[in-house]
Every structure is written in C-alpha cells, then in structure tokens.
C-alpha cells in the first residue's frame, strides 16, 4: 500500500550511516604515505570479521629513523586486506608501526594497539609482511626475499630502542652483516 514502509524502513538510512561511521572511525590518516620508487614492501592484512556492530581497522605508519634513533612520521597507509604495496628507500633505516583499532557499537568502546619494528631494505630485495589481528591478538611476520627469489629469511622484530642501545647512535646497520 502507498505510504507504508517496511518494518525498520525509517531507520535503515540512519543505521547504515552510523554503521559506516563506526567502521571508519579512526580511519582518517594524518599524512598519507608516498615514496617514489618501485614497491618493495608487500603487505597482506587479515583482521577479525567486520559486523554491523564491530570492526577492526589496520594501518601502517612509516617513520624515518632520525639521528638519536627517534622516529619521525613520514606518512600512513590504510591496510585494506588482500595486498597493499609501498616503496621503502633502500639502505635507509625505517621504523614500521602497524596499528590496529577495534570499535564496538554496543560496548561503546574503541581500543588501539600497535606493533613496531625497524627495517633497512636492501637494494634489489623485496619484503613481504603478513599482518593478522583477531580478538585482540596479532602477529606480524616480515620476510626478506633475495633478487630472483634465490633465498628468503624471516626478519626478527627490532625495537627502535635497540637502535640506540646497540650503537650508541645513528649508524646502526643490522642486516648489513647478512649475506
């Protein structure tokens, strides 16, 4: 009949808008990351299932490591899932900060956690990161792959504090001793 709406019809648009706002809450990136060069870091991200009442968002902040071993944000990339690729300058020490934000409509809560590791990409090598976050638990594995896929190795987590501890300064070169 004209003028009759299906049950919940009046609330469908506002509910949809609210759901989108919940899912995207905290997604706005402060500075989008951009770097010129061929993509050498490929990221596969898996987060817990999105529902109309809860969502987990993941993003990566790339920091340039400055003298004194402090990180200076260069930008962020929202991790969409299947495959994201970026360029990290070869030979330069970067701090990768993976961030996760979980929001819940009913709990009216939002929780953010992060994981950081240093990386100094080598010329001609590529890097694959597998990023997983589910129910408050995360794992991040970064693999370095030699040219022509001749060999690969899993990179250990390196905290930015280790930069200053191991060298007393900026010239830390972990990975340079590797073949």
pLDDT in tens, 61-114: 999 999 888 999 999 999 987 789 999 999 999 999 999 998 887 767 788 889
- The residue among 115, 111, 124 whose CA lies nearest residue 48 is 111
| % of the chain beyond a pLDDT of 90 | 49
CATH number of the 30-167 domain: 2.60.40
pLDDT at res. 3: 52
Query: Quick one: pLDDT at residue 29?
Result: 53
Region 132-148 average pLDDT: 91
Query: Which of 33-37, 129-133, 172-176 bottoms out in mean pLDDT, i.e. has the lowest?
Result: 172-176
pTM to 2 decimals?
0.75
pLDDT of 134 reads: 84
């Amino acid at each position: 009949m004209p003028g009759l709406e299906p049950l919940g019809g009046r609330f469908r648009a506002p509910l949809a808008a609210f759901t989108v706002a919940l899912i995207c809450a905290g997604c706005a990136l402060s500075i989008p990351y951009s770097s010129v060069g061929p993509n050498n870091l490929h990221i596969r991200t898996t987060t817990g299932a999105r529902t109309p009442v809860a969502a987990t968002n993941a993003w990566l902040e790339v920091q340039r490591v400055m003298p004194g071993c402090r990180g200076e944000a260069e930008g962020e990339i929202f991790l969409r899932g299947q495959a994201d690729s970026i360029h990290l300058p070869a030979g330069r020490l970067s701090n990768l900060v993976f961030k996760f934000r979980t929001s819940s409509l009913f709990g009216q809560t939002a929780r953010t956690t992060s994981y950081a590791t240093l990386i100094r990409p080598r010329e001609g090598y590529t890097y694959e990161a597998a990023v997983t976050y589910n129910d408050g638990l995360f794992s991040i594995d970064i693999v370095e792959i030699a040219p022509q896929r001749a060999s690969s190795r899993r990179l250990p987590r390196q905290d930015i504090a280790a930069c200053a501890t191991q060298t007393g300064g900026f010239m830390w070169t972990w990975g340079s001793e590797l073949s």
